[in-house]
Amino acid sequence: MELKKDSNAVSIDMLLIVHSEKRHAAQGAHSDRQADPGAPPQRRGGLQGVGNGIRRWQKLERNDLRGTQLTVEVHPQDAMPQLLKKFSLAKRTYVQGLQGDKNGNTRARQPGGKDAHAYPWDRSSLKSMPLDLRQFEKLDTYASQVTVKSGLDALVSDLVQEAHSDLERVRAIWIWICHHIEYDIEAAQEKDRQAFKPTTILQTQKTNCDGYAGLFERMCRIAGVQCMTVPGYSKGFGYQPGQSFSGEFDHAWNAVFLEGRWHLVDSTWGSGLVDSTTSKFTFLYNEFYFLTHPALFIEDHFPDNKNWQLLKPPQSLRQFENNMYHKSEFYNKGMLSAHPQTSIIKTVNGKVTVTIESCAPTLFMFMLNGKQEHGLLSLRKNGMKLDVYPPTVGTHKLQIFAKGNSEIYSSVLEYTLKCHYADIDVRLPAELHQPVGPSWFSEQMGITKPSHPEPVIYTSDGRCSVSFSVEEGISVLASLHGDDGPVTEETQRRYIFQLQREKRTELKVQLPHAGKFALKIFVKKRQEPGNYVFVFNYLLCCTNSKVNWPVFPESFGNWGQDNELLEPLSGVLPANHNVPFKLKLHGVAKALVKGQDTWPLTLNREGYWEGSCNTAGCQEVYVMVLENANHNFYSYILKYKVNAQ
């Protein structure tokens, strides 16, 4: 429309723009059962239904868009309308994910075949598109430090200043939300709370999961990237393996349109954890939930519309309920798969076996009903094997933890064990720590080429000999532990006699009685201060009830690691007997045995010191050596006790 007042009047255009838009039309596919958004994972639980929080959010957004809007802009004839400038910026990438209906309105394209990923997971990547996270380092640092100066539009404008693609714009928004928005515990526990407005979230920097999802969607749209909020069921804190889902949905997340496909994100679970015992939120960034591969996302997210699974074939709710739940740390720490693939396991003859495959050597530990007992965990080059023997009939909780590259063990798997028969004959020593048996870890600690590569050693006569190579500069210490004794630190070591042969260490073991024992092995660098470090243990098993071996002789500091004792190996000698001695001693000038009297030992051609002594009239017998022929001082190296007469 053109108006003219006089010849000096300025010609102007009256631009009438009729704008009719349903901003969230595509969300009409969402079920009316939307409710109770879930808290961040691993710490979530006990939250009540909160009504239709997501629809309330959508309603708030539509309040400003309902009906027909008439925008009148008056401007000079030769100037570009500012509103058109704004529209041209907004449409830059928006049209990628939009489709027109028969009335000319635009709506988000529903996910289709080109968005679907194969199920099950093909192990190719944790992400739904190729990513090099190193490319985000500068952007992540920048986005995490951006502060709110005014409104949401200004915040998004600041965030995308350093972004040069839709992917980077989404990344900047994701990083900011995950590092600045706190999960609102109190609001999440309200039965019927109002939806969070963006202005309120920016002011309080608190919200719940539908607030996270709504804020993420709004910010992406302001940045010109198509985004949707997806409601559904989730497996987080409070989730019990095998539980069923019904009624209101408990969580919300987002789908974002990038490079011609839909991708999934969950900024609630990417931001941190809620501790149920203290009801406090802790920021703890979790990269796993950014553009997660759909075949992994489905493990703890079930959308109201199966198309938003982005899977081919899609999973049913029953499959979602029954499928094994691998926590995000399972994949963050490099795990690939676990067996069994069901969260509820029935024992077979009182036993359950769990195996895990990992990308690289990883340290594991487990807890059964909160204690590290009743199981044998052995490390493998790429994973682990765990045999569990529940001590009683009933239901048991099994948790598995992995260390990965960090110094902290994180929970990666949780099983419910159903035990219908407890094998009372399988009672493992309480001191049997994990791992059991040599592995890549013991090699890393300087112990290689073990004589017994398996974790369990069976002995019929109560004796065994274990040997392995030891790297130069490493000292080895061993101790024996059984539930019925020995109990003192001294006797724990007296049933083991340690020998050094060239570069191999040999441990001669004599069991005090039948049963199961833990042979624990520790190492320490000789030149470094500090204590010995536990490396692994063997499980020794003996069913011979006649076994009753005494302790080995007590050795003193001058007993060299290269020395060898052939006889007598028993640390307790019979009274009134002639007892033969045979030892290999290095670097000594003379050797003798001292009891009631003194008996010298002689060096034979094979390099062994030999002789005998009589135990009459004495309670203790010592082996002594003279290291320097020019000295007269003998050192004690071995001590024997003599049975009472």
Identify the CA nearest to 426 among candidates 388, 453, 461, 474: 388
Q: In angstroms, rounded to a whole number, what is the distance separating the alpha carbons of residues 442 and 476?
A: 12
Residue labelled with tokens 């957004």: 61
Residue 340, preceding peptide bond in cis (omega within 30° of 0): yes
Please report the sign of the dihedral spanned by the C-alpha atoms of residue 387, residue 392, residue 398, residue 404. Answer: negative
Q: In angstroms, rounded to a whole number, what is the distance separating the alpha carbons of residues 2 and 217?
A: 40
Q: In angstroms, rounded to a whole number, what is the distance separating the alpha carbons of residues 302 and 246?
A: 12
Beta strand pairing call for 344-346 and 410-419: parallel
Q: In angstroms, rounded to a whole number, what is the distance separating the alpha carbons of residues 196 and 118?
A: 36
The maximal CA–CA distance of the chain, rounded, in angstroms, is 140
Give 365's DSSP letter. E
Residue labelled with tokens 């274990």: 466
Residue 120, preceding peptide bond in cis (omega within 30° of 0): yes
Assigned token pair, 63? 């309040």
Gyration radius (Cα) of the chain, Å? 36
What positions carry a catalytic annotation?
Answer: 209, 251, 266
Q: In angstroms, rounded to a whole number, what is the distance separating the alpha carbons of residues 252 and 211?
A: 9
Strands (E), 95-184: 98-100, 106-108, 117-118, 182-183
Q: In angstroms, rounded to a whole number, what is the distance separating the alpha carbons of residues 639 and 645?
A: 19
Strands (E), 284-409: 290-292, 301-303, 311-312, 335-339, 344-346, 352-358, 364-368, 375-380, 383-388, 394-402
Strand order, beta sheet including 352-358: 335-339, 352-358, 383-388, 375-380
State the Cα torsion 171-172-176-177 to the nearest 10°. Answer: -40
Beta strand pairing call for 280-283 and 311-312: unpaired
Report DSSP letters for 452-490, one per residue.
--SSEEE-SSSEEEEEEEE-TTEEEEEEEE-TTS--SHH
Q: In angstroms, rounded to a whole number, what is the distance separating the alpha carbons of residues 398 and 388?
A: 9
Assigned token pair, 121? 């997971």
Residue 327 neighbours by CB under 8 Å, 6+ apart:
41, 42, 300, 410, 411, 412, 413, 414
